[in-house]
Amino acid sequence: MENKATFNILMYSHDTYGLGHIRRTMAIAEHLSCPDTNILILTGSPLAGRFTFPRGVDHVRIPGMIKRANEDYFPLSIRIDPRHALEIRKSIILATAQTFRPDLFIVDKEPLGLKREVLSTLQWMSSHPAKCLTVLGLRDVMDDAETVRRNWREKGVYENVEKLYSEVWVYGEKALYDPVVEYAIPRGIAGKLTFTGYIPRKIPGPDEVREIRKGLDIAPEERLVTVTTGGGGDGLWVLESYLAMLETMAGSSDTPSFRSVLITGPFLSEDDKRVVLERARVLGVIVYQFFTHMEALFSASDLVVCMGGYNTVCEILTQQTPSLVIPRETPRKEQLIRAMAMKKRGLLDYIPWGEVSPDLLEKKIHGILGHPGPFRKAMAGFELTGINRICSRISTFKERIMP
């Protein structure tokens, strides 16, 4: 085989509403970046330009889509028929693959892409003489078992994954949640499946952590609680509940023994944002729409209150910061399933969405801040192996085509 000068990786991240997929894709890309590797990310995220791409990593922006109802997607910005927007996305994906000629194609979460938009590219790769390793990357939990099984049967996912993918990587631990069992994955796919473990994030240095606290005007002896809702499109309830807790405490002259920072997320509506900002202003709470260095902020915090998406949980586990999760339960139950599994391991605590109240929030927060030791001990013993195992798999494939 002819020697290659570079190893080309194409990554697909459909990104409709939120930051989860692009953040996971970026975390993997940053670790895979090296002199002999080119990485190109296909993404629909309108926030892709806000991320700093390392040398050797770039992105192709496909038109953004937003989900308004189950399986109904509409263009995020441009005013054209949804079918036309999807055709544009499909064409860009295929043309990029045909021009870039990747050695490795990693598809995040959606086996066939948004509305099957990646299927034609996978079919082209399978029929093309230049062999490309195709990998489906799945987060630890997709949804409840019944929903995933039904969805994959109706969309023909099982047969297409078996036919068109070389490998399946699950970014999680089998001991916590086993999709082979839960999603009735057949033997032909299970044989291609590798549990990589969770994807770690950057660990900031102590100087960076001190700078974060200094920039927030948090004294060394003060405790900091960070509240984040990811993209923010469905996190208003968490923000409102936390502010209601602080307002209740203020009304009873119970001064909080901690400082607070709220990250609303870029997709919180303008009307809701104004209300949150005004309530936070009265309480003296710091608010950001988007925080570039979330790893450093989590490391600088004594507790994180969040919704429990995959990437937020990975960031928390990496920094070994205790967390209180309020997992959403619609339109998917993945956050609830993840929170329940991780609580059993002592990695976090959680409150079901419908049980949140100012009193319960205050009780849980004070409990964790007062006794963080068990959470930190559990997290210290929980190894995030995702990047090491992914790098190992890619190195093996590289050796075959770049002797």
Rg value, the chain, Cα: 22
What span, in angstroms and rounded, lies between the C-alpha atoms of 181 and 217? Answer: 49
My answer on whether 179 and 266 are in the same domain is no
Range of the domain at 372: 206-380
- Beta bridge pairs of residue 10: 40, 105
**pLDDT at residue number 18:** 57
Q: Assess contact for 77 and 96: CB atoms under 8 A.
A: no
Tens-digit pLDDT profile for residues 375-389: 999 999 999 999 999
**pLDDT at residue number 1:** 40
What span, in angstroms and rounded, lies between the C-alpha atoms of 79 and 82? Answer: 9
Domain-located, residue 2 = no
67: left (phi over 0), alpha (psi -120 to 50) or beta: beta
CATH of the domain at 250: 3.40.50.2000
Neighbours of 358 (CB within 10 A): 17
My answer on whether 190 and 282 are in the same domain is no
Identify the H or E element spanning 72.
Answer: strand 72-75
Q: Could you write out the DSSP letters of every residue in 361-400?
A: HHHHHHHHHH--HHHHHHHHT----HHHHHHHHHHHHHHH
Task: Report if pTM > 0.85.
Answer: yes
**pLDDT at residue number 131:** 80
My answer on whether 148 and 212 are in the same domain is no
My answer on whether 111 and 213 are in the same domain is no
Q: Which two tokens stand for residue 41?
A: 């990310």
**pLDDT at residue number 323:** 98
Stretches in the chain below the pLDDT threshold 50: 1-2
Q: Which two tokens stand for residue 319?
A: 């920094």
Identify the H or E element spanning 309.
Answer: none
My answer on whether 266 and 325 are in the same domain is yes
**pLDDT at residue number 40:** 96
From residue 169, give the alpha-carbon distance in Å to each of 16, 32, 133, 315, 399. 22, 15, 12, 19, 19
**pLDDT at residue number 327:** 97
Give the count of domains, the chain.
2
* Length in residues, the chain: 403
My answer on whether 284 and 137 are in the same domain is no
Domain-located, residue 304 = yes
**pLDDT at residue number 12:** 96
Q: Pairing state of beta strands 323-325 and 303-306?
A: parallel
Helix, strand or coil for residue 149? helix
